[in-house]
Structure 1
Amino acid sequence: MGPTEIFLIALTIILAVPYAFWRLLRTDGFAPLVVVQILTGILLGPGILGAVFPATYAFLFAPPVIGALNGIAWWAVMLFVFAAGLELDLHDAWTNRRETLTTAASALLVPLAFGALAAALILRTPGWIGPKGTYGQAVLGIGMACAVTALPILVLLMEKLGIFRSPLGHRLLRYASFDDVAIWGVLALILVDWERMGRQALFLGTFALAAWGMRKLIARVGENDRWAIGLIWLAASGFAADWSGLHFMVGAFLAGAVLDGHHFDMARRDALREFLLLAVMPVFFLSTGLKTKWGDGLDGEGTLAIFGSAGLFLVASIAGKLVGVHLAGRLLGWAKGEASVIGWMLQTKALIMIIFVNVLFDKQIITAETFTAMLLMAVASTMLTVPMVRRRLAGIA
C-alpha cells in the first residue's frame, strides 16, 4: 500500500474517532469536541497506540505520513492563531482600561507565580528541562503555561453557555485579550536568541513598518481581497519570525493582532474558526499526541511522575487563576459570585496552552515528559470549566 493510501487511512481515523466518541457518548457537557480531539491525539500517540499495537502504529504513522500530517498541522495552527489575533479588541479593552488592566494583570501574574513555584519544585529532579533550555526559561515557560487563557476556546465555551454576546462575555473577552498579548510577548522573551539578536531586531523593525502598510492596504480593499491578502501576510510573517529565531507561531499571532478585526466580517471569522476546529485542527492534535512520552527520561520515575506533575500544575493553574481574579473582584467591588464565574472561565487552557508548550518543546526548552504533563493539565482544566461555571451562573443570574 502506497503512502497516499496510508495517509488517507490515518486521516479518516483522526477525523472519525473523536467525532464518534463525542456524538455517541454525548460528552459536550464536560468535554467539547476539541477536548475529545486532544485526547484522541494522545491515545493515537507512541505512548499508548505505539506501546499496545506497535505494528499498527508503525504502519499508520510512517515518516512520509507524519511529514504530510505535520505540514497540515503547521498551517492549521497558524490559521488558528491568526484568527485568535483578529479576535483581539484592544480598543475596547483600553476604553475600560482600569478594570481590564487590574483584572488581566491579577489573572495573569498570580497563576504565573503559582505555576513558576510548581515548576521550581518539579525541576529539582532531572529530566524536565530540554537540552537547549535553561532553568529560568523552563520556570518562566511552565509558569506562563499555567497562566494562559485560551481565547478561541473561551469564545467556544461562552457560546455554549449562552453568554458570548452578553455584558459578561464582553468583559471576559477584554480580560483574555490583554492576557493573550502578554502571553505571546513572554514567549518571544523566552525565545530571545542572543546569537540572533540582529535578526530578531531586524524582524521586529521590518514587521512594524510592514504592519503599518498592511493596515492601510486592508482598509482600502474589498472583503474577499482582505482575506486573500491576509493569508499571504500570515505566511510571510510566519516565515520571517521563524527565520529570526522566534517561531512561526509568534509571527502568526502578530500577523492577526496588528490588523483591525472589524475589517473582516464577523460571520466569516466565526465560520473560519468553526471550520478549522472541525476540519484541520484534529490533525494538529494528532501531531501533538505524537510528541507525548510517558517517563522514559525520568530516571525510573516514569508515568507516575508525569501524572503527579500534571496534577500539581493543575492545582497551581486553577488556584492561581481563582485567587488572582478574586483579588481583582475585591479591588473593583464586583457583585457576589462574579469572581468565581470569571475565574473559572479564564482558566480555560486547551488550544493556546497546547500551542504555547508545543513551541517550548520544538525549541527543546522542555522535554517530552514535561510536554506530556502540561498537555494533561490543559485537558483537565478545560474539561472542568463548563460544569463549574454552569452551576455558578445560576447564582448571579
Structure 2
Amino acid sequence: MSPDALITHFVGASALILVAAHAAGWLARQLKQPYIVGQLTAGIALGPSLLGSVAPGAHEALFPEGIGPALTGFAQFALVVFLFAVGYELDLKLLGNRARTAVTVALAAFVVPMAVGSGCALLFREQLRDLGMPRDLTPAMVVFAGVALSITAVPVLTAIVRENGLARTVPGVVAVSAAGILDVIGWTVLAGTLMDSGGEQSLAWPWRVTIAAGFVALMVLTARPLLRRLLWGTRMEPSLRLALLLGFALGSAWVTHFLGLHVIFGALLAGVVAPREKGGILDPDLLRPLHDVSSLLLPFFFVISGQSVALNSMDATGWVAVLMVTALAVVTKIGSGTVAARLGGLDTHDARTVGVLLSARGLTELIALNAGLQAGLLSTPLYTVLVFMALATTLLTQPLLLLTQRLAERARPTPVVHDTAAPPPPTPQDGTRPAPVADVG
C-alpha cells in the first residue's frame, strides 16, 4: 500500500471511529449507562467479529492491515494521556476519618476476588484448555486470572457516584477512596505479573525489577521537585506546561515499556509524581485539556480492543464461561465489599451500596486485559470472555444500585400518624342541629 493510500485509509477509518464511538456513547448515556459502554460496544461492532462477518469487504476496505500500527499508536497515546490524568487526580489524602474503613474495604475487595480468580484458574484447567489456554498454566497466568476479577474502574465508578448524587455521602466517599487504593494495589500486582511473564526481553527479570525500583525512586524523589521548580516556579503558560508534562508522561511510558511492563505504568507513575498546586489543589488548566484529549482519542483504544474480540470463536463453552465469570466477578466484589464496609461501621444499606459500586470494571479492566493479551497471558477466546465480563459488570452496576436504593426504601419504617382530634358529634337522624359543645378550656 502506497503512503498516500495509507493516509487516505487512516483518515477515513479515524472519522468512522470517532463518529461511531461518540454517537454510541451518547446513546448509552441516554439509556442511563456509562459512556464507556457505548464506546466499547461500537468498538466490538467495528471489529472483525461483527462488521467483518456481516460485510467482510467493507471491513477490509475500512480497516486494511496496513493502518493497524497507526491505530495502535493512537490508542497507546490515548491511554498515556488518560492514565496520566488518573494518576494526577489520585489523592489518598481524601480518605479523612474513613481511612481505616476504606483500606479494609479495598483489601477485602482485592484479596477475595484475587483468590477466587486464581483458584478457579487452577481448578478449571481443562475448561480453560477449551478456551485456548495451555495445559500447564504459568504462575503469571494464574495470578493474572485473579487480577482480572479484582479490578475496579475508578473513572466509571466516579462517574456513577456523581450521576447518582452520592459524591458527598458516606458510601460514595468510601467507595471512591477504596477504589483509589484498589488501583494502587491492582496496578502494582499487575506490574509484577507482567514483569514475571517474561516475553521478548533481553534483561532477566531480577535486573528489570531492580531497574524498575530505581526508576520509581528517581521519579518520586527527583522528578517531582524538578518539575515543581520548572513548571510552577517559572509561571509557565498553561499550553507549554501541558506539552512538557505530556512529553514527561510519554518518556516515562517509554521507560516502563522498555522494562517489559507496559506504557500504562509509566503514564500512571508520571501522573502520580506530577506536582499539584499549593495545598494539593489540582490545576484546572491542566486537567481540563487532559480530559478533553483522552475522551476524544479513547475510541481508538476501544476499536483496537474490539479488533481482538473473537465472537466467531465463542461456542457453548465460551458463553457458559461468560456467565460463570460474570457471576463470580459480581458476587465476589459485592460480597467482599459489603461485608468489609459493614465491619467498618457502615449500616446495611450504605455497605451494600459500596459493594455494588466496587463491582464496576469498565475501562480499567480493558486496559489490564489488553496488557495481558499482549504479554501472552491470555488466549484470544479467554480475552473475549473477559471483555464480555467487563461489559456485563459495568452494565449491571447502575441497575443493581437502583435495586439497593429500593430495598433501603422498603426497609425504612413507615411513620405512624396518631389522630388526636376528637371525632365530630353524630348528626341527629331527625335533621335537627346538634347541641353545641361547652368550652371547658
> Which position in structure 1 is the counterpart of 2:360?
348
2:420 maps to none
Contact 2:219 2:273 in 1 (8 A): no
Equivalent residue for 2:336, pick from 314, 324, 343:
324
Residue 269 of structure 1 is matched in structure 2 by: 287
Query: Are 1:287 and 2:304 an aligned pair?
Result: yes
Q: Secondary structure at the match of 1:365?
A: coil
Partner of 1:239: 254
Partner of 1:198: 207
Amino acid at match of 1:113: A
Change (3 A) 1:127 1:266: farther
Taking the aligned partners of 1:268 and 1:133, their CA distance within structure 2 comes to 47
Q: Aligned-pair distance for 1:284?
A: 0.5
For 1:248-397, what aligned pairs fall within 5 Å after superposition? 248-260=263-275, 262=280, 264-266=282-284, 268-269=286-287, 272-277=290-295, 279-294=296-311, 296=313, 302-393=314-405, 395=408
CA distance in structure 1 between the partners assigned to 2:96 and 2:215 by the alignment:
26
Query: How many Å apart are 1:353 and its aligned residue?
Result: 0.5
| 1:11 maps to 2:28 | no
- Check 1:33–1:326 CA distance in 2 against 1; reply closer, same or farther (3 A cut): closer
2: distance between equivalents of 1:95 and 1:133? 46
1:15 alignment partner AA: L
The alpha carbon displacement at 1:329 in A equals 2.6
**Which range moves more in the overlay, 70-79 or 51-60?**
51-60
- Distance, in Å, in 2 between the alignment partners of 1:310 and 1:20 is 27
User: Quick check: 128-137 or 325-334, which moved more?
Assistant: 128-137
Q: CA deviation at 1:175?
A: 0.4
Q: Distance in 2 between matches of 1:95 and 1:132?
A: 48
Q: Does the CA contact (< 8 Å) of 2:101 and 2:174 recur in 1?
A: no
Residues 64-83 of structure 1 aligned to structure 2 (within 5 Å): 64-83=66-85
**What is aligned with 1:299?**
none
1:186 to 186, 189, 195: 189
- 2: CA distance between counterparts of 1:208 and 1:386? 40
1:287-311: CA deviations, max 9, x gaps?
1101112364xxxxx4322222121
Deviation at 1:381, TM superposition (A): 0.6
Q: TM-score, normalization: structure 2?
A: 0.81
The answer to whether 1:162 aligns with 2:165 is yes
CA contact (8 A) 1:41 1:290 kept: yes
TM-score (norm 1): 0.89
User: What is the CA distance between 1:266 and its match in structure 2?
Assistant: 4.4
Provide the C-alpha distance between the structure 1 equivalents of 2:28 and 2:363, rounded to a whole number of angstroms. 21
* CA contact 2:78–2:293 (8 Å) conserved in 1: no
Is residue 238–residue 251 contact of structure 1 (8 Å, CA) maintained in 2? yes
Counterparts of 1:323 and 1:256 in 2: how far apart (Å)? Answer: 32
1:110-189 map, 5 Å:
110-125=112-127, 126-128=129-131, 134-189=137-192
Q: Over the residues paired in the alignment, what is the CA RMSD in angstroms?
A: 2.6
Q: Rate the CA distance shift 1:143–1:199 in 2: closer, same or farther, 3 A.
A: closer
* 8 Å CA contact 1:163, 1:169 repeated in 2: yes
Secondary structure (helix, strand or coil) at the match of 2:126 reads coil
Match of 1:36 in 2: 38
Distance between the aligned counterparts of 2:288 and 2:322, measured in 1?
32
8 Å contact kept, 2:242–2:286:
no
1:43-89 alpha-carbon deviations (Å, 9 max, x no partner)? 11112211222111111111222221111000101111121112211
Larger Rg belongs to: 2
SS in structure 2 at match of 1:230: helix
CA displacement, residues 205-229 of structure 1 (integer Å, 9 cap, x when unaligned): 0331233222112333337355333
**SS at 2:308's partner residue?**
coil
- The answer to whether the 8 A contact 1:15-1:282 is kept is yes
Measured against aligned partners, the alpha-carbon deviations of 1:23-60 in whole angstroms (never above 9, x if no partner) come to 4x565344322111101111111122112221111111
What is the percentage of aligned positions where both structures have the same residue?
A: 28
Q: Which runs of 4+ in 1 moved over 6 A?
A: none
What letter corresponds to residue 282 of structure 1 in structure 2? P
| One-letter code aligned to 2:85 | A
With over 3 angstroms needed to count, the CA separation of the structure-2 counterparts of 1:86 and 1:285, relative to structure 1, is same
Question: Using the alignment, how far apart are the partners of 2:286 and 2:275 within structure 1?
Answer: 14
1:276 Cα shift?
1.8
Q: Say whether the 8 Å CA contact 2:337–2:351 is kept in structure 1.
A: yes
1: CA distance, partners of 2:318 / 2:123: 13
Instruction: Determine the C-alpha separation between the residues in 2 that align with 1:232 and 1:26.
Output: 33
- TM-fit CA distance, 1:158: 1.8
Shift of 1:103: 1.0
CA distance in 2 between counterparts of 1:26 and 1:136 reads 38
Letter matched to residue 202 of structure 1: I
- Identify if the C-alpha distance between structure 1 residues 66 and 10 changes in structure 2 by more than 3 Å, giving closer, same or farther: same
More deviation in 341-350 or 212-221? 212-221
CA drift of 1:391 comes to 4.1
**Bigger proportion of residues as helix:** 1
- CA–CA separation in structure 2 for the residues paired with 1:218 and 1:165: 33
Q: Distance in 1 between matches of 2:30 and 2:339?
A: 31
* Structure 1 position 132, deviation (Å): 12
Extract unaligned runs of 5+ from structure 2: 199-203, 413-441
Counterparts in 2 of 1:293 and 1:169: CA distance versus 1, 3 Å: same
**Structure 1 regions of 5+ residues with no counterpart?**
297-301
Quote the offset at 1:18 in angstroms: 3.5
**Greater displacement, 356-365 / 87-96:** 87-96
Tell which deviates more after alignment, 70-79 or 57-66: 57-66
